[in-house]
Structure 1
Amino acid sequence: MALDYAKCAQEIFSHLGGRENLVSAAHCATRLRLVTVDNSKVDMKALENVEGVKGVFSSNGQLQLIIGTGTVNKVYDEFLKITGMTAATKDEVKAAAAAKQPLPQRLIKSLGDVFVPILPAIVASGLMMGLVEALGNAIPSFAGSDWYGFLDLVSGAAFAYLPVLVAVSAARVFGGNIFLGGVIGLCMIHSSLINAWSVASYEGAIPTWNLLFFTVNKVGYQGHVIPVIIAVWLMCQIEKRLHKIVPEVIDLFVTPLVTVLTTAFLTFTIIGPIFSTAETYLLSFAQWLITVGFGIGSLAMGAIYPLTVVCGLHHMYNVIEAGLLAEGGLNIWMPIASAANFAQCGACLAVALKSKNPKNKTIAIPSALSAALGITEPAIFGVNLRLVKPLVCGMIGGAIGAMFGAIMGIGANAYGVTGIPGFLIVDSGKILPYAILLAISGGVAFALTWVVWKDEESAPAEKPVETAPAAPAESAEPVVYAPLTGSVVARDQIPDETFASGVLGDGCGIEPTVGEVVAPCDGVISTVAETRHAVGISGPADMELLIHVGVDTVEMKGDGFKALVKTGDTVKKGQKLLTFDLAKIRAAGHPTVTTVLVTNADDYAGLTLEAAGSVTAGDKLIAVQKA
């Protein structure tokens, strides 16, 4: 029987503590996303029992109700009618939820939001810098060539002008004009100022400005991060306030002028001196932590590093790494991250080799390779965290490797990469110790996982496949063909608890090797996510399908995704539906495993997974037995 959308919406509303307890509401491809004033007033148990609601959980300040593709949008429309609320975008709901989070959590999230978009530039520059330095050391004649000078300029640009990149990204995060943010960043490293990296060798007294009651040293903020972020945050607050009070007829030139002048003055007189000093103390603490007690501090950080990845806090380390390099030294935080990441690779590889369960092997092998290259989310979320013991073994391996790195004084000349690519940025005199660090980290984690993890812990007995009644020859059973090319992942191993649990339907995942989604059958497009990362299809025999690219990719706001169809389009099997950028998804820290579900699987006698291992788009993937 079809779901009564109005009744479902009314029952949901009745358990939310009244209209005054609701802040905003939106929906994505599968979930109703709400922000409430007080979650204690919400009857979670009753919500779980509402017909049509397949699960309820709270995440990042949002109350999320799992309803399903093709249905959630209809329930949402009825919900707006009942509550009298206006439609909100997912960004607005996300912003409202973020405002309710504790201050430390908001601060750390903001750092991540600032740094994630600029990481590709940092990574590219760091790799090029390491490669150019290696070539210069190996070929002395090349070090004095024009090509060396050109490549050195290109590779060092992102680091030399880091405050500008940070300022532009921070302005975007804090809701200000990104070009005004860029101006503030440029002011802080202007050529009329003494380069911060040259102050120590500067001969004579540092020149100053006398501005009102302040004496300001004419020194730039090259390499600094925290003062730039604070300055741009202040700039955004000033700009927003001025937009509200300045008459529109003069807003275009008054607001930018006053914003930049006020922010620049406060930056050089108050913000810069205070927060650059605070940053210096932070870096001193980090250096002390890493080197204290024969590497004991590094041992502790190597152990807990994967947990900060799980919590999404690891991007805050970019501040420390950038500051360490700005101080003219080596990035001694990079070996900690490399040890922790390579240890998770070793643990995941042990699972891949020891497991007799093809489902484990399918996801563990590519995840281990990804971790070896410094991207650990697939290994942590898809394998090690789920099995627990491999995660713990990886933490032990990372701790030992990180302590070894501290004792040996390993450091890097850039940041943004770890693992095997780290050879390109590690200090040229520490390449062999760095190789040993990776061997220790990965080897210890591999050995411990091999000994303590038992394959049967993650390989439950296969459930017998229900045999469907024989169907008439003229009524063929519906088939779902692979919508992507890649490796098949069992549904319960998809690194997203909601999809893995089966509450949204049955099916599988695919770890894609090509960023393209095609129609898995003939049908009609029932929904296309606003952020273009998911699509729903109504197929033969009333079959409802959901294809969801990656995990938590809604947070990318459509960046890297392109929809080639719209809701209501009729499509044929093999027709291209979506394209996506695998590199962007990985750079944003999201697993790329793509979920393929029959969302109304309960309407059928059973589903059989017809493929394992590698699969090509168009191959037979899932057979559906009619009830």
Structure 2
Amino acid sequence: MVSKENQQIAKQVISAIGGQDNVVSFAHCATRLRVVVKDRSKVDEEKLDNINKAKGHFFTAGQYQIIFGTGIVNDVYDAVENEGVSTTSKSDLNNVAAEQGGLFQKAIRMFADVFVPIIPALVATGLFMGLKGLITQPQILDLFGLTPKAIPTQFNTYFSILTATAFDFLPVLVCWSAFRVFGGTPILGILLGLMLVNPALPSAWDVAQGNAHALMFFGFIPVAGYQASVLPAFILGYLGAKFEKWIHNHIPNSIDLIVTPFVTLLVMSLVGLMLVGPIFRTVEQVILHVAEWIVALPYGIGGLLWGGINQIIVVTGLHHALNIVEIQLLANTHWNPVNPISSASIAAQAGAALAVGLKIKSSKMKQIAFPSTVSALLGITEPAIYGVNLKFIKPFIFACIGGATGGFLSSILNLRATGMSITVIPGVLLFLNNQLPLYILVCLVGFGVAFGLTWVYYSKKSFDDKDSDMISAKNNPTDTTNLPVNNEIISAPVSGSVESLSKVNDPVFSNETLGKGIAIIPKDDKIYSPVSGTITVAYPTKHAYGIKSENGAEILIHLGIDTVNLHGECFTSNVSQGQTIKKGELLGTFDYQTLKKKGYDSTVIIIITNSDEYSSIDKVTEGIVSTQNSLLSLIL
């Protein structure tokens, strides 16, 4: 039975998103309503911020996400459904959102799906380059009485293996990932990638340096190795996977195992070496030259532009497409001038968020702003952007100005990283050479400009007036239990490594929108109750549990990120809603290793959803934790 209060909230939601006629589809996960709309211009975002019981909203991946928290979101979803709005599963809604995004958004998502899995290999390679640069500095060698000429040949050979392998065989990695994403057999992708860099072909390096000539087929098609190439391997992987699937559908099952791989490799090797390779290597070189031209614009203009728009691109979700630029820069020049510019823009978001946290009186916004600052300094800006800076608009603009200033300075100083994907504080590892002081300076300038502009521009009154209106309209807590709240120790529900909530790759959790808590990188597949109490929420998808302890603590245990999409696959549950449970009792299991293989983040998140009722919530354990070890201390 839908309550009158939730029915009223449902009407507020429908009104804010432009009415039922503007809804393409509705879904929910453990904490959020997720809505795809026909026309964003009809959405009243101010109304979204003022919905009763809602804790905020943001727009990402083609859908609005309205944060309610566990339990409440189910009731509001039922009320929305009761109003006759079209509802669907979250995974289906994601597909609808992708369709709504059009071809361009699909292309961006496609690039991300292919390139994100190979980034760790390139990050490691960049760190190896930085380590080599540090070790071989004359000042470091001098400490051991050595000179650069005294470095053993074996040392150089070993580091050449560490730093060159990923880029020499980059087409293999890209082709494998493309086959995997587009539904082909990954091993065939690996073989096609190896054909592109086969040692029988003159290498791309030798041809570029004039030490060898490309093989000429039919008198006009130049063929050489494709070491360090990205686009030829990407296109070949796409075409190869589609071609393999087409053959599967047109070959009898009795000969499929023999004919399909044979024909796929034969046809696609010819297509790759003689058609796709020559054409898209040229396209790739054009993209590379354009990127280099922008970054190298005189008087620091390139860095100014790139640094200014970098985080705007993050908000649009297009930043994944820029991975190909950084990969290509590293593969061809072994340097990445984009990374320090990006670091400056990310540090600027941290500076603006910190200024908001220090200026504002609202304890709720402080609880969001300070962890978001730390998260941004570690390279993750979504909590700072969505949780703080975009809420007030001006801090985000000031952060873009800070990023532009830092980017300008980076270009003037000609800073270049040895790798990619790690920024700001972790990014120090990519500058373990004589650039390190300048890199730190660039990050400090981006941070300082954004912090200073935000601090000076806003008076306390302007912040507090806007924030108090927003908070008072959204916070209308209702007591759902007669249980008193007492001090309590929360135990670990799973064995693993303890992590700060700010490191969780979901802004709703990392900026503590739903409450304070902690995260665990699991090392076991069994989930135990951290307290004695009652199961308040047991989702059919088995990916999350809500528990009300005997002492009044309200706890959300969320298994992984976006795992609701799996519809219960990889999960089992031993409990049901309303069941009384003892501390240490088995809640269920989840196959965290399979989750990771499927591309999901398996982090277990523990949130105290009634955090406001406690004066302090403190981490008890650091490092490795076992089930039923003390994890959090709740003090009234």
Partner Cα distance (2:36, 2:250) in 1: 30
Say whether residues 1:522 and 2:526 are aligned partners: no
The one-letter code of the counterpart of 1:125 is T
Matched, 1:452 2:457: yes
Moved more, 355-364 or 561-570: 561-570
Assess if the C-alpha contact under 8 Å between 1:239 and 1:255 holds in 2.
yes
**Can you list the C-alpha shifts for 1:321-372, whole angstroms capped at 9, x where unaligned?**
1112233363221222121112223333334455555444444444333323
Structure 1 residues 486 and 63, CA gap change in structure 2 (3 angstroms): closer
Name stretches of at least 5 consecutive residues in structure 2 with no aligned partner: 14-18, 142-146, 493-497, 621-629
Q: 1:572 to 1:545 in 2, by over 3 A?
A: same
Residues 486 and 615, structure 1, Cα contact 8 Å, conserved in 2: no
Q: Which residue of 1 aligns with 2:130?
A: 130
Q: Name 1:174's counterpart in structure 2.
A: 182
Q: From the superposition, tell whether residues 143 and 565 of structure 1 become closer, same or farther in structure 2 (CA, over 3 Å).
A: farther
Q: From the superposition, tell whether residues 513 and 614 of structure 1 become closer, same or farther in structure 2 (CA, over 3 Å).
A: farther
1:307 maps to which residue?
A: 312
In structure 2, give the amino acid aligned to 1:132.
K
- Name the structure 2 match of 1:399: 404
Determine the C-alpha separation between the residues in 1 that align with 2:421 and 2:481.
Answer: 57
- 1:514–1:278 CA distance, 2 compared to 1 (3 A): closer
Return closer, same or farther for 1:218/1:130 CA change in 2, 3 Å cut-off: same
Amino acid at match of 2:538: T
TM-score (norm 1): 0.74
Across the two proteins, how many residue pairs are aligned to each other? 573
The alignment's C-alpha RMSD in Å is 5.1
Is 1:238 aligned to residue 243 of structure 2? yes
Query: Of 289, 292, 303, which residue of structure 2 is paired with 1:298?
Result: 303
Secondary structure of 1:203's aligned partner: coil
> Conserved in 1, the CA contact under 8 Å of 2:615 and 2:635?
yes
- In the other structure, the counterpart of 2:106 is 106
Q: CA deviation at 1:445?
A: 1.9
The answer to whether the 8 A contact 1:547-1:597 is kept is no
Counterpart CA distance in 2 for 1:283 and 1:467 is 57
Asked if 2 retains the 8 angstrom alpha-carbon contact of 1:348 and 1:383, the reply is yes
**Do the aligned residues in 2 keep the contact of 1:528 with 1:567 (CA within 8 Å)?**
no
Partners of 1:317 and 1:185 in 2: CA distance: 22
2:273 to 260, 268, 273: 268
Which amino acid in structure 1 is aligned with residue 165 of structure 2? A
SS in 2 for 1:327: helix
Looking at structure 2, the residues matched to 393 and 64 of structure 1 have their Cα atoms a distance apart, in angstroms, of 25
Aligned AA for 1:243? Answer: H
Say if 1:495 and 1:593, in contact at 8 Å, map to a contact too.
no
**Matches of 1:466 and 1:396 in 2, distance apart?**
38
Does the Cα contact within 8 Å between 2:553 and 2:608 map onto a contact in 1? no
Give the letter aligned to residue 292 of structure 2.
Q
Query: How many angstroms apart in 2 are the aligned matches of 1:34 and 1:360?
Result: 25
1:99-498 aligned at under 5 Å gives the runs 99-137=99-137, 138-139=140-141, 140=147, 143-144=151-152, 146-147=154-155, 149-210=157-218, 215-328=220-333, 330-355=335-360, 357-426=362-431, 428-455=433-460, 457=463, 460=468, 482=490, 495-496=507-508
The share of aligned pairs that are identical, in percent, is: 34
Is 1:612 aligned with 2:620?
no
Q: 1:529 offset after TM fit, Å?
A: 6.9
The offset of 1:393, in angstroms, is 1.9
- CA distance 1:562–1:242, change in 2 (3 Å): closer
CA contact (8 A) 2:71 2:536 kept: no
Contact 2:353 2:370 in 1 (8 A): yes
Deviations 1:151-205 (A, max 9, x none): 4423432222222222222222222222222222222222222222232223353
Task: Give CA deviations for 1:87-144 in whole Å, capped at 9, x if unaligned.
Answer: 9975555345424421111111211122222222222221122112211223246842
Q: Is the 8 A contact 2:308 2:403 kept in 1?
A: yes
Conserved? CA contact 1:487–1:615, under 8 Å? no
Question: Higher mean Cα deviation, 358-367 or 87-96?
Answer: 87-96
Give the superposition deviation at 1:542.
Answer: 12
Q: 1:167 to 1:91 in 2, by over 3 A?
A: farther
Q: Is the 8 A contact 1:548 1:596 kept in 2?
A: no
Contact 1:301 1:399 (8 Å CA) reproduced: yes
Specify whether residues 99 and 389 from structure 1 end up closer, same or farther in structure 2 by C-alpha distance, changes over 3 A only. Answer: closer
Give the counterpart letter for 1:105 in structure 2.
Q
**Residue 604 (structure 1) aligns with:** none
Counterparts of 1:45-84 in structure 2 under 5 Å?
A: 60=61
- In structure 2, C-alpha distance between the alignment counterparts of 1:389 and 1:79, rounded to whole Å: 34
Q: Secondary structure at the match of 1:510?
A: strand
Question: Secondary structure at the residue paired with 2:562?
Answer: helix
Task: Using structure 2 for the length normalisation, give the TM-score.
Answer: 0.73
Counterpart residue type for residue 515 of structure 2: C
Which of 569, 572, 575 pairs up with 2:582?
572
- How many Å separate the matches in 2 of 1:386 and 1:64? 15
1:201–1:90 Cα change, 3 Å: same
Secondary structure class of the residue paired with 2:136: helix
Give the corresponding residue for 1:510: 517
- The one-letter code matched in structure 2 to 1:281 is V
- 1:94 paired residue number: 94
- Contact persistence 2:303–2:408 (CA under 8 A): yes
- Counterparts of 1:531 and 1:185 in 2: how far apart (Å)? 40
Instruction: State the alpha-carbon separation in 2 of the partners of residues 344 and 235 from structure 1.
Output: 42
Letter in structure 2 aligned against 1:109: R
CA-CA distance at 1:402 after TM superposition = 0.6
> Residues 384-439 of structure 1, C-alpha deviation per residue, up to 9 Å, x if partnerless?
33343332222111101111111222212322222233333248453343232222
Indicate how the Cα distance of structure 1 residues 343 and 63 shifts in structure 2: closer, same or farther if over 3 A, else same: closer
3-state SS, counterpart of residue 460 of structure 1: helix
Instruction: State the distance in 2 between where 1:556 and 1:465 align.
Output: 28
